[in-house]
Amino acid sequence: MKINYMRAVFSLIPILICGVLLYLLYVNKVKGVLIWGVVLLTMAVFIFVFISSFMSTGKFQTEEEANKYKGKILYNNESFTIVTYSKDFVVNWNTIEAVFFINTPPLDGEYHNKEYRIFLNKEPVIINKKPLKWYDKILPAPKKQEYPMIKIDDYYNIDFNTLYPSIEKFLTNEKMPSTLLNGKFGNQVEYSKKENTIIGIPYDKLLITTGLYKIFDKGSHSEGELKEYRNNATKI
């Protein structure tokens, strides 16, 4: 399971506040047991929330078990839905502002190398399928972004390769280079036989290059993160 960095960051705020309150209580020699108890209990609760944000469930025993927690994508003419174990994200095609495709060798701790980053002009509809934890109810909502972004990669979304033909069909109405989107990293290899041994000699040409590519963009004005993506992306 993914580490919940957002929850960890927000839980630090009340921990720091409680730390300041404890210091003030100590400096001012406040002896009220109740106020000390409330502050200490609150601090302990959020320390637990902070620690639990970094706890994972460990390795899955089977691929079927792992896939249960991965996203599946469903499509129709009006929208697509990212179906996950705990919640669904519904994205209307007409709310998509821009689509970028990134391919990079996986970093430490990552399992994917291809990813779509989709900017929206409004938040996706979120359907919770599991009751919210009590700490999720009291933590402040994330700051609203100019163009909210969702990510779909080739590890956590088992239907990853169904996205680009659906973008062609429902969004762009034009063909995209599937060889780029489905390619794997590596070099072309020329095989030759020397005596009784087959030798593979790699070419310099990569089968797929790393980079950031722009697949779709409505071109609406942006001074935030979307602008940076536009400036750095290569149009497919």
Q: Rounded to two decimals, what is the model's pTM? A: 0.62
Q: Domain-by-domain residue ranges, the chain?
A: 5-52, 64-176+212-235
Angle at the Cα of 229 from the Cα atoms of 228 and 232, rounded to 5 degrees: 85
Q: How many CB atoms lie within 10 A of CB 45?
A: 17
Query: Between β-strands 234-235 and 211-217, what pairing exists: parallel, antiparallel or unpaired?
Result: parallel
- Smallest Cα–Cα separation from 43: which of 55, 51, 33? 51
Tracing tokens 């720091």 back to the chain, one arrives at 16
Tell me the chain's radius of gyration from C-alpha atoms.
Answer: 24
List, for residues 193-208, the tens digit of each pLDDT value: 666 665 655 555 555 5
- pLDDT of 87 higher than 80: yes
Strand order in the sheet with 234-235: 149-153, 114-120, 96-103, 211-217, 234-235
pLDDT reported for residue 117: 95
Tell me the residue type at 166. Answer: S
List, for residues 210-225, the tens digit of each pLDDT value: 678 899 999 999 988 9
CB 114 within 8 A of CB 181: yes
